[in-house]
Structure 1
Amino acid sequence: MPLADRSLTVRRDPHSEEVLARGGDPEAHSVLQRTGFVPVVRVHETYHRAPTNLIEGDDTRLGIEAVARLRAVGYHVDCDEDFDTDHRPVHDLPLGATVAHLAQRIREATTTWDAAGVLTELTASHDGILAALEEVLIATAEFHDGLGDAADPHIARRLRYLADERLRAIRSDLSDTRNALTDRHIPHPGRSICAAEVPATERERSAVCACPPPPRTLPAPPPPVAAGLRR
């Protein structure tokens, strides 16, 4: 990872008086968002700002918390003196990391049964991850129902549409994929694990592996001779 991605600045802009965080990689951006910062996407950069309409002093406390959290996970943070701190809070594993681990389990799966078991965590009808995500969308829609702004009913309808149509389509397709894998009962041909077992019919007991030899790799042909160099 480039060293620049592990460095950030947290400073108060001298013109707007906004507390701004610049630099870092996606992990740092997640830390900032969990602290309460809002991402701002521009053509050539993405930076983060403190929320608007904070009461006096809250943006300073937010800047201090951001510096503390970023330094706690190993980032170098150059900051205004007002934000400097020696506090290092405990970094808890985010929920998203647990879900992302399912992707790693699929990458390591050697049979259709293994892959189907991982997809079940997503598609289980009562307590799967997608069912829980649907609950979150509906709860957020209900939150907007009586929030008061003119746009809030539209946001609530949009969230219900995402739950009823978009998420349902994803859940249906993944469930079909999971069910098909569950019925196949085959090893993945490119991920079979060699147990180094010698079959009972093997006469040469010195053999250590019954796997077929790896495909022979042919040497790359030499580059063609340029026409101007031929004699």
Structure 2
Amino acid sequence: MLRINRYVEIRRDPDSEELLAREGDAPAHSILQRAGFLPVVRVHESYHRVPKGLTAKDEDRLATAAVARLRAQGYHVACDADFDTDDRPASYPPSSASVAHLASRVRAATTTDDTAAALTELAAPHDGVLTAIEEVLTATADFYDGLGEPSDPPIARRLRYLADEVLRTIHTDLSDTRNQLADRHAPHPGRSTCTQKVPANERERSAVCACPPPPRTLPTPPPPVAVGLRR
């Protein structure tokens, strides 16, 4: 039986004729959005739709590309016959993959120096990740300034506020955290690097390393029974 989060349905609504994509997990939603779909979040449901103003032919092309990308990643896609395809395009790591790798480095870090080195890639003032995000926000604000609609300047101001105030606060706090960790030069007490070497005085011949046993976790006792409930 298929897990519901590995299932995606892409069809035209029989009543409204809108092209909608439903179901799927977060990776599937990323694929849909990279194919051109837009997320819609309601109180009792969420789904994806195509952008406004597309011709029916453009919508079909967008849906077909989404079906191909999803199936290439192992999703079961139920779709209208017009969108069915045997194409399986190659996939490549997204631009965020290198940033996500920093989280893996922090999870594997055994010293404050290790974590400080990973955070430096985020907080570096010239070419860090946060500096790049600030440049994207500013460039998008500049783009909105030239679009010409009355609602565009407020959006541009909001984007500059995010870059100049919110993101800068995050950048400052993260830089301080990185500096504090870099000054400590301390191992993490709950993490250690296993060398998989057995000392000469080890008495157990089955030992493969000298690491201490993991701390014992005591079972949580059941909650006390209320006196009034006893019979």
What is the TM-score normalised by the length of structure 1?
0.88
Residue 118, structure 1, aligned to residue 138, structure 2: no
Residue 23, structure 1, aligned to residue 51, structure 2: no
> 2:216, 2:60 → 1: CA distance?
63
Residue 57, structure 1, aligned to residue 61, structure 2: no
Q: CA deviation at 1:224?
A: 7.2
> After superposition, where does 1:17-96 map in structure 2 within 5 Å?
17-96=17-96
Q: Alpha carbons of 1:222 and 1:92: their partners in 2 closer, same or farther (altered >3 Å)?
A: closer
> 1:66, 1:198 → 2: CA distance?
53
Q: CA deviation at 1:97?
A: 2.5
Counterpart residue type for residue 175 of structure 2 = S
Q: Alpha carbons of 1:191 and 1:148: their partners in 2 closer, same or farther (altered >3 Å)?
A: same
Q: Alpha carbons of 1:210 and 1:61: their partners in 2 closer, same or farther (altered >3 Å)?
A: closer
Q: Alpha carbons of 1:218 and 1:8: their partners in 2 closer, same or farther (altered >3 Å)?
A: closer
- Unaligned segments of structure 2, at least 5 residues: none
Q: CA deviation at 1:213?
A: 5.1
What are the superposed Cα offsets for residues 129-167 of structure 1, whole Å, 9 maximum, x if unpaired? 000000000000000001011110000000000000000
> 1:151, 1:222 → 2: CA distance?
59
> After superposition, where does 1:47-196 map in structure 2 within 5 Å?
47-195=47-195
> 2:143, 2:225 → 1: CA distance?
71
Q: Alpha carbons of 1:80 and 1:215: their partners in 2 closer, same or farther (altered >3 Å)?
A: closer
Q: More deviation in 90-99 or 165-174? A: 90-99
Q: CA deviation at 1:17?
A: 1.6
Q: CA deviation at 1:15?
A: 2.0
Counting aligned pairs with the same residue, the percent is 65
Q: More deviation in 220-229 or 183-192? A: 220-229
> 1:68, 1:91 → 2: CA distance?
11
Counterpart residue type for residue 92 of structure 1 = Y
Counterpart residue type for residue 119 of structure 1 = L
- Unaligned segments of structure 1, at least 5 residues: none
> 2:50, 2:220 → 1: CA distance?
56
Q: CA deviation at 1:222?
A: 8.4
Superposition CA RMSD, Å: 2.5
> 1:3, 1:30 → 2: CA distance?
18
> 2:64, 2:168 → 1: CA distance?
41
| Equivalent position SS for 1:101 | helix
Q: CA deviation at 1:95?
A: 1.3
What are the superposed Cα offsets for residues 8-55 of structure 1, whole Å, 9 maximum, x if unpaired? 111011222211101100110000000110101012221000111013
Q: CA deviation at 1:219?
A: 6.7
Aligned residues: 226
Q: Alpha carbons of 1:206 and 1:7: their partners in 2 closer, same or farther (altered >3 Å)?
A: same
Q: Alpha carbons of 1:59 and 1:110: their partners in 2 closer, same or farther (altered >3 Å)?
A: same
Q: CA deviation at 1:194?
A: 3.4
| Equivalent position SS for 2:78 | strand
